[in-house]
Amino acid sequence: MVDPRKSELPTAAAAAPELPVAPQIPEVAPSTLPRSVSAPETAPIGIFDSGLGGLTVAREIMTRLPGERIIYFGDTARVPYGPKSPDTVVRYSREITAWLIEEGVKVVVVACNTATAHALDALQADFAIPVIGVVEPGARAAARVSDSGHIGVIGTAGTIASGAYERAIHAAREDATILAAACPLFVPLVEEGWLDEDATRLVAHRYLDPLRAATVDTLVLGCTHYPLLKPLISRTMGGGVRLIDSAEETAAETCRVLAHMGLAADPAGRPTHRFVASDAPEHFLRQGQRFLGEAIERVEKLTLG
């Protein structure tokens, strides 16, 4: 800040204008907090996704909260959620959340961007335990760390079309300029295991070069598959661009909510985890290790709806 009393400074050497300061973002979103919680600290965390991608969120939660038990539900019978109508996604999400609560979870993490965009408000209104989505934590982190306010968002076609990230970022930072791009081929490339192949690099440049040319300084990875492409995306965007990993930010939000509500388990515990798929548990078992970063011993099958 220039001292106004120092008027002897030559006018030709006027001080450069100060950069805008990012606003202070609340650590825990008020909408996340429940009306009441009766589950004990030892109860598990429930996580669901339309398929495998949400395992990247589970992995980050396991890393940050090593004492927590997890029940993960992958709705592989009805994947993908992106082409489904909002009403259908809300119905699926309610069914899964109700089942997780029946299993005794203390918090539900919606580890799916499409389900978060369409169903989070309904779930938070309908259920009395904390329900955390993947959009708002990443959006608030981007608003907080961006120096210029020029923020890029990449995601599936459904997530980008919903405008959920734009709304959440603008709610946290009104002056933000947002450039969103759908990257639909990233998901099948990740599920094929093509994380750094020539074809993947070509696709990455096709999607990301316009964002790089627009000089965004922060890029939100708005799909739970995309963290597996983080090294490639970072190289394509250049070293000066901050990547916001929605899985990491959602895990951090879960940690804050549990601490705020006094629901955190003993970090020295040795938890066991459950993995449930609504179809093709054998495929889930084979592919899940790529997303989770460790072996999955068993996958249960449960069909809802």
25-38 pLDDT, tens digit each: 445 555 555 545 66
CATH number of 136-246: 3.40.50.1860
Note the pLDDT tens digit of each residue in 57-83. Answer: 999 999 999 999 999 999 999 998 988
Give the rounded percent of residues in the chain with a pLDDT score beyond 70: 88
- Main-chain dihedrals φ then ψ at residue 65, nearest 5 degrees: -130, 70
pLDDT tens digit string along 117-167? 999 999 999 999 999 999 999 999 999 999 999 999 999 988 999 999 999
User: What are φ and ψ of residue 124, in 5° steps?
Assistant: -65, -30
- In this structure, the number of other CB atoms found within 10 A of the CB of residue 139 comes to 31
- Nearest C-alpha neighbor of 165 from the set 246, 238, 282, 241: 246
How does pLDDT run across 181-216, given as a tens digit for each residue? 999 999 999 988 899 999 999 999 999 999 999 999
> What are the residue numbers of the active site?
112, 223
Sequence ranges of the domains in the chain: 41-133+249-301, 136-246
Same fold across 41-133+249-301 and 136-246 = yes
Q: How far apart are CA 242 and CA 224, in angstroms?
A: 17
In one-letter notation, the amino acid at residue 172 is A
Is residue 154 a contact partner of residue 219, using CB atoms and an 8 Å limit? yes
pLDDT tens readout for residues 219-271: 999 999 999 999 999 999 998 999 999 999 999 999 999 999 999 999 988 89
Q: What is the CATH number of domain 41-133+249-301?
A: 3.40.50.1860
